[in-house]
Structure 1
Amino acid sequence: MSDLILVLDEGTTSTRAMVFGLDGRMHDVAQAELTQHYPKPGWVEHDAGEIWDRTLACAREVTEKAGVDRIAAIGITNQRETVVAWDKSTLEPLSRAIVWQDRRTADFCEELREAGHEAEVQAQTGLLLDPYFSGTKMRWLLDHDERVRQAARKGSLAFGTVESWLVAKLSGGSHISDASNASRTQLLPLDGAQFDDGLCDLLGVPKAALPQVVDTHGSLGEAKAEWLGKALPITGMVGDQQAATIGQGCLAPGDTKATYGTGAFVLANKGGEQPRSDNRMLGTVLYQQGGKRTYAIEGSVFVAGSLVQWLRDQLKLISSAAETEALARSIEDSGEVVIVPALSGLGAPHWRADARGVIAGLSFASGRAQIARAALEAMAHQTHDLAEAFAADGARWTSLKIDGGMSANDWMAQDLANMLDLKVERPDFVETTALGAAMSAAVGAGLYPSLQSAADAMRGSIRAFDPAMGEAVREERLARWRKALKAA
């Protein structure tokens, strides 16, 4: 009996394969870290070959445990704006992948902004001119990588985000991208079925190198039998933040979630209404089925869990992320230490690619506990900035559903509730990105009739955190945050 979903969850720091039952229970998981390459300040790269090799190894490990005959379908979720360039004929990568965090195209974005293009780009795509998005990364590869240029001249160049790359490898050459990921390239109008000629011309990206835009769930392709021992249908493809929104059951207009992983991403469901923001929020495709789109408004923070990773790997202040909770609880406050984690610029609502990280308020009394606590407090500070911008756009939060690896930290979850003065809800199973991909694939395979029915069957229990902070304390912290933010 085929009653399991294989999810490939390809993140920024690791790749995983997970097997889910139709009740939402995770049966097996295999994980492998991905190498981060930092050739210059502000540059972040991945080896696309390594992504494929390690994803396949994880998939084989869990499939062997579960039994391939029990796998009904494959769902894929991924870091969204990261760009891979490969040769259509050989399916070999032509360069390192440029990761979503990379800021090398800041000058090009500024040129486009100064030429007056941001308003038209935002009106069409819902996105601002920022190095975060995929299109300018593609242009950079064409301008600076000879192998990419040669492939473009020969007509063999393929550009895609990571789900597109994985499907190409799994299927033996299919070149597709789902609408949720395609909407992050800055080349797809929110109401356009395929990539737009005018946007491609503006950014200097050949349309012939781009994939076909398809639904997020349905009959999307097939993984060849040679990879996992049996040909398996690919029935779900969805960007990681959209997948987490689905996994949280945010399926009605106004439902809002925040995912705290490498970065922090807040999405509010907008239904069939195309999102428009006057406060530098983003409009994006939440999912697409049968060519019909559901939209979301999004605020993106570039640095969340990666700040804790930096404390661990670069500053050696902690040996594991889990230490931060005990350190935060060991002191009454941060001793006025404030961290602005602009290690790869500032995202929403500030959008300052030139911003750099700041640690403010240091004294001889400051130690590792104060810095660890300030790092966790930075999550609530950044989220509060987003809450104010959403409210100004008429999308005020009444509660917030959280997920992602960092959300398992009880101290941080309570601090969010305190600083937002809102109820914060966290599922017992916080890996809702993978769960949302499983839901999408289950619907795409016809195992559930709708995302709502899949969510009803597959979501687990919830824990709530209620606010417990006085207004004066909250305002004092926000004043310190805003002062440090100016220094960034």
Structure 2
Amino acid sequence: MARSSHRFLIFFQQVVVKLFTISIDQGTSSTRVFLVNEEGRIVKKFQRRITQIYPKPGWVEHDPNEILETVKDGLSNILEGVNPKDVKGIGITNQRETSVVWDAESGKPLYNAIVWQCRRTAPICEELKRKGLDDLIKDRTGLPLDPYFSGTKIKWLIENVDEVKESLKRGRLRFGTIDSFLIHSLTRERNHLTDLSNASRTMLFNLRTLKWDLDILEYLSIPMDILPKVVDSVGYFGETIHGIPILSVMGDQQSALFGQLCFKEGMVKVTYGTGAFILMNTGENLKKSKKLVSTIAWGMDGKVIYALEGSIFNCGTLIDWLVKVGLVSKPSETEDVAMSLEKNDDVYFVGAFSGLGAPHWDSRARGLFIGLTSDAGREHLVRSVLESIAYSVYEVAKLMEEDSGIELREIRVDGGVSKNNFLMQFQSDILGKEISRPVNRESTAMGVTFAAGVKSGIWKMEELEELRKTDRRFIPDESRRGRLMKNFDRWKEAVKRAMGWAR
């Protein structure tokens, strides 16, 4: 009898099947692919950096073919030794606003992807402002008229690239943000789709009608037929050659909001990545703000969830710059260097390498150190860079409270720069709010993973909270707040001096 039971146990162990989801996180600096098991743990990871192309000052591009190859290589690597039948779904999250144009028949990109950081369309934006279109665009799309967003990038491509003009004449031109390009390139059906969250970042999508805005398309001379069909963020997007369905697509910051499980109205997350991005879930209510962005968080089961967002263009790029110029040897060193000073000695930095995003929206602002004396050393420079990130986040967070009418309580953080304990404690102190940092800081990747897992039946929405484990909570030191507020006022003076610098 015991031997029979032992045989049964061996047989049972052999037929137990592990279920997985795959997350493709195509970011600004790299492509990452994750294999996630039923417990919500990352069991395999692939990462490859993306070449940054700078044709002119202020211009930023990526090679779409390189992006696609890194994604394909990532999928091959992740699936090695894994039965594709055990992978129930793929989620795609992507750098938003970055714009790609390709030929519908060949699938070949017609120009490099114009990255969200690129400022080449500033003159187009200024011309549209002179025509008085900024208020109309902000009212309908929730976005300010800025080179950051996709609309003017498409206009520039149509007007300046011969291959794009020819493809348009032949009726074969297709536009998409990175998600759309990947869906078309990876699916057997060659679907031309995007989700609500990415569509809401183009400056062409009407947040009320949930359709492409015909008036704005006309103002920018963009034909409707080159744009993708807009669908919910969770659903069927097509099947890969491996037979795995793509079940979730979200822009990176919206995916991080989902990955941090900010499902209730008023919940907030901050991602400290290439840039710093603050999102508040505003539920099914479209909240308006003069200086912040109104956007779509996600669409699921026919329901649209909105968000307020503050976009700070430079965060991780500032840390990379410190390494590049030799002030630190590696990013993690910034923490100890900053903590070697008791205070900033009135030295401030404005991180406007790509202009200023929310709430200033000045594409001509540039980076600035101020307050330097002969006593200043690298410690002051490094600390002022970290403090500038915290000041920028604080500035946006306070505006978010005012415009939403919702008091911020806990702030959930993620992204590579959130590893910096000096920055997180400084952020908590100046905000006067508790900060929660999860064990798994890959919130962007986990957002579409969770969504695809829910769609495929691996999890239920109410089960997801059990999967988020807290690494550390940062409690504000109220005794420091008065001094930090005075420092913040000084930093705002520095911001004014950095604005409008570029010609």
Q: TM (normalized to structure 1)? A: 0.95
Give runs of aligned pairs for residues 27-176 of structure 1, distance below 5 A: 27-172=43-188, 173-176=190-193
In structure 1, list runs of 5 or more residues that go unmatched: 225-229
Task: Give the one of 353, 356, 381 matched to 1:346.
Answer: 356
Of 356, 363, 369, 2:373 maps to 363
Matched residue pairs, number? 479
Tell me the secondary structure at the aligned position of residue 107 of structure 2: coil
Partner of 2:5: none
Alpha-carbon distance between aligned partners in 1 of 2:363 and 2:399, rounded to the nearest angstrom: 19
Q: Residues 39-438 of structure 1 correspond to what in structure 2 (within 5 A)?
A: 39-172=55-188, 173-224=190-241, 230-278=242-290, 280-313=291-324, 315-393=325-403, 394-438=405-449
- Give the partner amino acid of 1:40: K
Root-mean-square deviation over aligned CA pairs: 1.4
Is the alpha carbon distance of 1:202 and 1:396 closer, same or farther for their aligned partners in structure 2, counting shifts above 3 Å? farther
- Please give the TM-score of this superposition, normalised by the length of structure 2: 0.93
Deviation at 1:335, TM superposition (A): 2.9
Greater CA drift, 452-461 or 280-289: 452-461
Residue 443 of structure 1 contacts residue 454 of structure 1 at CA under 8 Å; is this kept in 2? no
Give the corresponding residue for 1:14.
30
1:304 deviation in Å?
0.5
Once the two structures are superposed, residues 249-287 of structure 1 have per-residue CA deviations (whole angstroms, 9 ceiling, x without a partner) of 110000011100000110100111112113x11111111
1:461 Cα deviation from its structure 2 partner? 2.5
CA distance in 2, matches of 1:412, 1:166: 35
1:384-413: CA deviation from partner (whole Å, max 9, x where unpaired):
110221122123322211111111111111
Q: CA deviation at 1:458?
A: 2.7
How big is each residue's C-alpha offset from its partner over 1:117-173, in whole Å with a ceiling of 9 and x where there is no partner?
122111111111011111110111111111111111111111000011111110142
Give the equivalent residue in structure 1 for 2:465.
Answer: 456
Structure 1 residue 483 and structure 2 residue 483: aligned?
no
Give the whole-Å Cα distance in 1 for the aligned partners of 2:225 and 2:304. Answer: 24
Query: What amino acid is aligned across from residue 203 of structure 2 in structure 1?
Result: Q
User: Alpha-carbon deviation of 1:457?
Assistant: 4.0
Paired residue type of 2:263 = L
- Amino acid corresponding to residue 32 of structure 1 in structure 2: R
**Structure 2 residues without counterparts, runs of 5 or longer:** 1-16, 499-503
Distance 2:160 2:467 in 1: 46
Structure 2 Cα separation of the partners of residues 407 and 430 of structure 1: 8
* C-alpha distance 2-123 of structure 1, shift in aligned 2 (>3 A): farther
- CA–CA separation in structure 2 for the residues paired with 1:446 and 1:304: 37
- C-alpha distance in 1 between matches for 2:345 and 2:139: 44
CA distance in 2, matches of 1:37, 1:178: 27
Aligned to 2:279, the other structure's residue is in SS state strand
Q: Match for 1:291: what amino acid? A: G
Secondary structure of the structure 2 residue equivalent to 1:470: helix
2:474 aligned with 1:465: yes
CA distance in 1, matches of 2:276, 2:294: 16
> Contact conserved, 1:325 with 1:410, CA < 8 A, in 2?
yes
Q: Deviations over 1:199-248 (max 9, x none)?
A: 21122211111100011111221112xxxxx2110001011000110111
> Quick one: distance in 1 between partners of 2:121 and 2:390?
29
Question: Which amino acid is the alignment partner of residue 183 of structure 1?
Answer: S
1-structure distance, mates of 2:434, 2:348: 24
Question: Which deviates more, 465-474 or 138-147?
Answer: 465-474
**Contact 1:17 1:55 (C-alpha < 8 Å) held by counterparts:** yes
Cα distance in 2 for partners of 1:444, 1:145 equals: 40
The percent identity for this pair of structures is 40
Structure 1 runs (4+) greater than 3 angstroms displaced: none
Q: Which residue of 2 aligns with 1:227?
A: none
**Radius of gyration: which is bigger?**
2
- d(CA) in 1 for partners of 2:236, 2:88: 12
What amino acid sits opposite 2:230 in the alignment?
V
Q: Which moved more, 1:390-399 or 1:68-77?
A: 390-399
Deviations 1:303-326 (A, max 9, x none): 00111111222x122221111111
Residues 77 and 433 in structure 1, CA contact (< 8 A), matched pair in contact too: yes
Q: 2:191·2:237 contact (CA, 8 Å) conserved in 1? A: no
The question of whether the paired residues in 2 share the 8 Å contact of 1:24 and 1:460 is answered with: no
**Helix, strand or coil for the counterpart of 1:18?**
strand
The alpha-carbon distance between structure 1 residues 454 and 84, as it changes in their structure 2 partners (threshold 3 A), is farther
Cα deviations by residue, 1:435-459 (Å, 9 ceiling, x for unpaired): 111011112223334xx32522432
Output the CA distance in 2 between the equivalents of 1:417 and 1:444: 36
Say whether the 8 Å CA contact 1:218–1:443 is kept in structure 2: no
